[in-house]
Structure 1
Amino acid sequence: MAEHLLELRDLSVRFHTARGLVQAVQGVSWHLDRGETLAILGESGSGKSVSASAVMNLIDCPPGEITSGQILFEGRDLLTLNEEARREINGRRIAMIFQDPLSHLNPVYPVGWQIAETATAHGTPAQEARARARELIARVGIPDPDAAMRKYPHQFSGGQRQRLMIAMALALKPDILIADEPTTALDVTVQAEVLSLLGELQRETGMGLLLITHDLGVVAEIADRAVVMEGGRIVEAGTPYDLYHNATHPYTRKLISAAPGRGEMRADRAPVTPLLSCRGLRKEYGSFTALKGAEFDVMPGECLAVVGESGSGKSTVARLVLRLEEASGGQALWKGEDLLTKTPREMAKVRRQLQMVFQDPTQSLNPRMSVYEIISEAWAIHRDVLPKSRWRGRVQELLEQVGLKPEHADRYPHQFSGGQRQRIAIARALALEPELIICDEAVSALDVSIQAQVIQLLGRLRDELGIAFVFIAHDLPVVRDFADRVLVMQKGEIVEQGSVRQIFDAPREPYTQRLLAAGLDPDPEVQARRRAERLALQA
């Protein structure tokens, strides 16, 4: 019998790139046993996803190349098996779920067919596979499984799509489930539900769970052991408690210190004349009301955080204020003038003062444009802002201001990491020197240290330039550290708003209390208490 269910021994992977060889994984060794959860913790570029991809035979060779090591599954080295033997194992014995389910679900097939197809591809009769798909859809908590079977991926929320990916991965009752950042972009309550679901399924089936994450809170919530990776190497390993309280490596300590929710909350600000005032703001889509009479103010130089689950109306508020969608009613008063009644020409002038940073910079940055072209485009549209002779120098200044290098101006978005792309998006937003920036989940998918750097950058811009922020987020510890005031939304309504201290220390509404209880803490002891509180609230 094999000593471990899955074991990596001295695995090394490198990639041939235009700039030479990149050593993505260097001499990595770890193991996973039945019924155990092993977390691989690290930031982008640490090699955690590459090592998991090697297990699933998902590394393109070339340009990738496994140069050494073994991947032992029940004692058999997967690297020595032929393609046919690997196909028998992948999906059936070892399954994987990915960070972005929308990218991995086929948009033109119903989800029921896609889940059933996982089983039929391995020889399960079609009728049996379809019954299994319906059973799994019900098991992962999707309402009305019969109707859900006939729906397409775009008809589900992000959390539901992740549940469907889990159902697909479990179709053949695998021995190992690899989860690559499965909760990164999910709301705190949905994240807690998905992690709880994974734990339940693991207890039912006894499968080993390999969890790839950059979130220390996820490690504290679900992991039995964790390994920390930096630069393709394992720098530390141990239980979540040992890593949090007794970390020895500087990189592990840096990750812990970068975890949000530990800083001083900002003091209450003296009242001033609002920069933006929304009154009775509404949005209706046919018979469905997405936003129900929202009323709030944004003061000069302050950060108003907007929190709530998917579908609560957070992003709708942002789109209405910026006139990316037309409101069904109400007012959005910018310095006393209603944005909702302005003509397109008038609105174009106001847009110089209102900018937005979107959640996914990969989609919001044009891949065909260089960084210089992306940032300078604002001056090409608003020609009176800056003479063309100064564009190059100003772009370089903005890049340095957001922590990038001047020479990055001539590169393209795909040549940067996710955190760097978000910095480029922020530099673009700063090009017109706005008075208000709306950040729609702008840091939700970033590594903890990069997230901390971006929040620090935004805080510096607020203090130095007096920029106000509407900060739409589901990451409550980040909100705690950055915001001045918090607005809590549920089902299109504002259920509570107040200073950050009031919302976090003395929330009045049960919904706000549930949101706070669902948040994850990197300290395993604190997280154990939160888990107990969450269960008590559910009861």
Structure 2
Amino acid sequence: MADHLLEVRDLSVEFHTAAGTVKAVQNVNWYLDRGETLAILGESGSGKSVSASAVMNLIDMPPGKITSGAILLNGKDMLKMSAEERRAINGAKIAMIFQDPLAHLNPVFTVGWQIAEMMTTHGRPRDKAAARARDLLHRVGLPEPDLAFGKYPHQFSGGQRQRLMIAMALACKPDILIADEPTTALDVTVQAQVLALLEELQQETGMGLLLITHDLGVVAEIADRVVVMNGGQIVETGNASEVYHNPQHPYTKKLIAAAPGSGEMPEESDRRGEPLLRATDLHKYYSAFHALKGVDLTIMPGETVAVVGESGSGKSTLARAILRLDDPSSGQIHYRGKDLMTLGPRELFGLRRDLQMVFQDPTQSLNPRMTVFQLISEAWAIHPEILPRKQWRDRVAELLTKVGLKPEMAVRYPHQFSGGQRQRIAIARALAMEPKLIVCDEAVSALDVSIQAQVIELLAGLRREMGLSYLFIAHDLPVVRDFADRVIVMKSGEIVEEGPVRQIFEAPRKDYTRALLAASLDPDPEIQAARRTARMELEMAVSA
């Protein structure tokens, strides 16, 4: 009998690039037992996803190369198996949930067909596979699963697409589930539901769960043991409570110190004077679906207004309507006194400098054919009055440094970065326009905690220096607590509560707001255990 369900021994992976050899993983050792949750914690580029990709045989070779080690499944080294043997294992024995769902869902097939295909590929009859796919859509919390079965990936929100990926991975009841940032795009209540579902499935099947994350709250909620990685190496291991309360390595201490939600909440901002932007009675219809229902919003100069709520609550629809990326069905939007709804294309083009957006999914918002330098400097080609061409290279280097990247990365393409790094590039691109208002649609949700703290401090510093305003759409409530001046809580296209950040977090008036706060994860495993108990009691009270 094998000592462990899955064991990685002395694994080293390197990539050969034009700039030289990158040692992504160096002599890594870890194991996973049946029924156990192991979290691999680390920042973007630490090697955590590369080691998981090696387990799934998903490393492109070349340019990648596994230079040493063994990956043992029930004692058998998968690195010595044939391609056919590995294909039989992937999906059936080991399944993976990827960080970027849209890049891994086929846009030309319905989601029901894609989930069922996971099972038909491994021999299950089509009718039984379809029935289980509908059951899985229900279990991961998608509304109207029979209707969702026949939809396409683009018809779902970012959080809903991640739930589809989870349903697909669970289709064959694998022995091991590798979850690469599985809740990054999910709102707090759905995140809690998904983590609870994974725990429930573990209890049912004895499945081992390998969790790759930068979120200390997720580790506190679900992990039994933690492996901390930095620079391709393991720097610390232990159970979740030991690592949080008694970290030994300086890098682990830095991660814990960067966790949001422990700082001083901002005082209520002065809302006197003329607003920078005012939206009144916004409605948005998609066929028979009423996505926005009479939403009013005011943003003052230099103010950060956060919008929170579950996936499908209308947060992103509101953001796109305000910027006229998707015109509302009715209502008014005034920016500095100008009615945006009556502006023609030429006038609206002139305002694009002032109104910028950082999208939730950087894979879709960054042109894969352009280098980072081209992506950022494109703003100055379109609006040449911003910056002379001779200053472009220095300014790109400065912006990359500000968002925690290296200037020499300007020659790379988006696919050569992790998800978190791509989001930092998107933020740098928005800052290149020197805007007055930035709409951040889950702009920091994919970032690891230390870079997230750096970017939030960067955004706050720009607000102080330049008087920037933000519409900050987020599901990460600790970040909202630290960064926002006011909070708007949305549900089903309506605003259910709004007020200063202190009032929302310390004295919420609505049960829905209280449920969101109860579902938020704390990085301290002991506090999170108490919060989990409180959440369960609240759910029982609401259901009663």
Question: How far is 1:289 from its partner?
Answer: 2.1
Question: SS in structure 2 opposite 1:268?
Answer: coil
Residues 408-423 of structure 1 aligned to structure 2 (within 5 Å): 409=410, 411-423=412-424
> Cα deviation per residue 1:436-458 (whole Å; 9 max; x = unaligned)?
22111111111111111111110
Residue 44 of structure 2 corresponds to 44
> Greater shift after overlay, 227-236 or 95-104?
95-104
Cα 1:143/1:382, change in 2 over 3 Å: closer
Deviations 1:322-377 (A, max 9, x none): 22222222222222222222222222223332222222333323333344443343
3-state DSSP class of the match of 2:353? coil
In structure 2, distance between residues paired with 1:431 and 1:163 = 34
Partner of 1:324: 325
Shift of the 212–426 alpha-carbon distance from structure 1 to 2, 3 Å rule, reads closer
Measure how far apart 1:145 and its partner are.
4.5
Which whole-Å CA distance do the structure 2 matches of 1:168 and 1:402 have between them?
Answer: 34
SS of 2:255's equivalent? helix
User: Quick check: 433-442 or 167-176, which moved more?
Assistant: 167-176
Amino acid aligned to 1:121:
T
> AA paired with 1:71?
I
Match for residue 479 of structure 1?
480
Measured in 2, the distance between the counterparts of 1:159 and 1:420 equals 20
User: Does the C-alpha gap of structure 1 residues 163 and 388 become closer, same or farther in structure 2, counting only changes over 3 Å?
Assistant: closer
1:240 aligns with 2:244: no
- Aligned-pair CA distance for 1:380: 3.4
CA RMSD of aligned residues (A): 2.3
Q: Deviations along 1:381-414, whole A, 9 cap, x unmatched?
A: 3344445455455545544554555555555444
Q: Is the 8 A contact 2:162 2:186 kept in 1?
A: no
Report the AA paired with residue 186 of structure 2: L
Shift of 1:213: 1.0
User: What residue is the counterpart of 1:93 in the other structure?
Assistant: 93
Could you tell me which residue of structure 2 aligns to residue 177 of structure 1?
A: 177
Count of matched residue pairs = 539
Partner of 1:80: 80
Shift of 1:268: 1.7
- 1:340-379 to structure 2, matched below 5 A, reads 340-379=341-380
Q: What code does the residue aligned with 1:360 have?
A: D
Q: State the distance in 1 between where 2:393 and 2:140 align.
A: 52
For residues 271-293 of structure 1, the C-alpha deviation after alignment (integer angstroms, 9 at most, x for no partner) is: 32122222222222343322122
Distance 1:206 1:408, change over 3 A: closer
> Mean alpha-carbon deviation: is it higher for 428-437 or for 31-40?
428-437
Structure 1 length as normaliser, TM-score?
Answer: 0.93
Match of 2:19 in 1: 19
Partner of residue 108, structure 2 = 108
1:68 corresponds to which residue? 68
Give the drift of 1:148: 4.1
Match in the other structure for 1:288: 289
User: Is the partner of 1:460 in helix, strand or coil?
Assistant: helix
Deviation digits for residues 286-309 of structure 1 (CA, Å, limit 9, x no counterpart) = 433221222222111111111111
Uncovered stretches (5+) of structure 2, i.e. residues with no partner: none
How far does residue 531 in structure 1 lie from its aligned partner after superposition? 0.9
Moved more, 118-127 or 20-29: 118-127
Shift of 1:428: 3.1
List aligned pairs for 1:150-169, cutoff 5 A: 150-169=150-169
Unaligned 5+ residue runs, structure 1? none
What amino acid is aligned across from residue 221 of structure 2 in structure 1?
A: E
Aligned to 1:187: 187
Letter in 1 for 2:174: P
CA deviation digits over 1:453-486, x for unaligned, max 9? 1111101101111111111111111111111111
The CA distance in 2 between the partners of 1:55 and 1:410, in whole Å, is: 30
- Distance change >3 Å, CA 418–CA 54, structure 1 → 2: closer
Displacement after TM superposition at 1:244 (Å): 0.6
Report what 1:520 is aligned to.
521
User: Would you say 1:297 and 2:298 are equivalent positions?
Assistant: yes
The amino acid that maps onto 1:217 is G
Percent identical across equivalent pairs? Answer: 72
TM-score (structure 2 length as normaliser): 0.92
Hey, what's the Cα distance between the residues in 2 that align with 1:143 and 1:537? 22
Per-residue deviation at 1:110?
A: 3.1
Is 1:510 aligned with 2:511?
Answer: yes
The CA deviation at 1:417 is 4.7
Deviations 1:7-43 (A, max 9, x none): 1111112222222222111111111111111111111
Over 3 Å counting, the alpha-carbon distance change for 1:486 and 1:121 in structure 2 is: same
What is the identity, as a one-letter code, of the residue corresponding to 1:275? L
Q: Which amino acid is the alignment partner of residue 67 of structure 1?
A: T
Deviations 1:213-236 (A, max 9, x none): 111111110111111111111111
Give, as a single letter, the amino acid of the residue that structure 2 aligns with 1:249.
Answer: H
Identify the range of structure 1 (316-325 vs 197-206) with the bigger mean alpha-carbon deviation. 316-325
- Judged with a 3 Å threshold, the aligned counterparts in structure 2 of structure 1 residues 154 and 269 are, in CA distance, closer, same or farther, namely closer
How far apart are residue 416 of structure 1 and its match? 4.6
SS of 1:256's equivalent?
A: helix
Amino acid at match of 2:351: V
Q: Indicate the SS of the match to 1:86.
A: helix
Inter-CA distance 417–111: structure 2 relative to 1 (3 Å threshold): closer
Aligned to 1:430: 431
Q: Distance in 2 between matches of 1:41 and 1:312?
A: 30
* Counterparts of 2:149 and 2:320, CA distance in 1: 32
What residue in structure 2 maps to residue 55 of structure 1? 55
Asked whether the equivalents of residues 421 and 447 of structure 2 are also in contact (C-alpha less than 8 Å), the reply is no
Question: For the structure 1 residues 297 and 151, does the alpha-carbon distance in structure 2 shift closer, same or farther, using more than 3 Å as the test?
Answer: closer
Q: Establish whether residue 279 from structure 1 lines up as the match of residue 285 from structure 2.
A: no
Matched to 1:439, the amino acid is: C
Q: CA deviation at 1:63?
A: 2.1
Kept in 1, the 8 Å contact 2:99–2:419? The answer is no
- Per mean C-alpha deviation after superposition, the further-off stretch among 479-488 and 10-19 is 10-19
CA distance in 1, matches of 2:409, 2:490: 39
Q: Greater shift after overlay, 116-125 or 404-413? A: 404-413
Deviation at 1:492, TM superposition (A): 1.2
- Give the letter aligned to residue 188 of structure 2: V
Q: Which moved more, 1:403-412 or 1:233-242?
A: 403-412
Q: Distance in 1 between matches of 2:66 and 2:166?
A: 28
After alignment, is 352-361 or 504-513 more displaced? 352-361
Residue type at the aligned position of 1:226 = V
Label 1:24 to 1:120 Cα distance change in 2 as closer, same or farther (>3 A): same
> What residue is the counterpart of 2:497 in the other structure?
496
Shift of residue 46 of structure 1?
1.2
CA distance in 2, matches of 1:326, 1:140: 31
**Equivalent residues of 2:279, 2:333 under 8 A apart:** yes
> Once the two structures are superposed, what CA deviation does each residue of 1:123-145 show, in whole Å capped at 9, x if it has no partner?
33444444444444444444555
Task: Work out whether residues 141 and 190 of structure 2, in 8 Å CA contact, stay in contact via their aligned partners in 1.
Answer: no
CA distance in 2, matches of 1:166, 1:422: 22
Rounded to whole Å, the distance in 1 between the matches of 2:243 and 2:534 is: 24
Is the Cα contact below 8 Å between 2:40 and 2:229 reproduced in 1?
yes
Deviation at 1:311, TM superposition (A): 1.8
CA apart distance, 1:111: 3.1
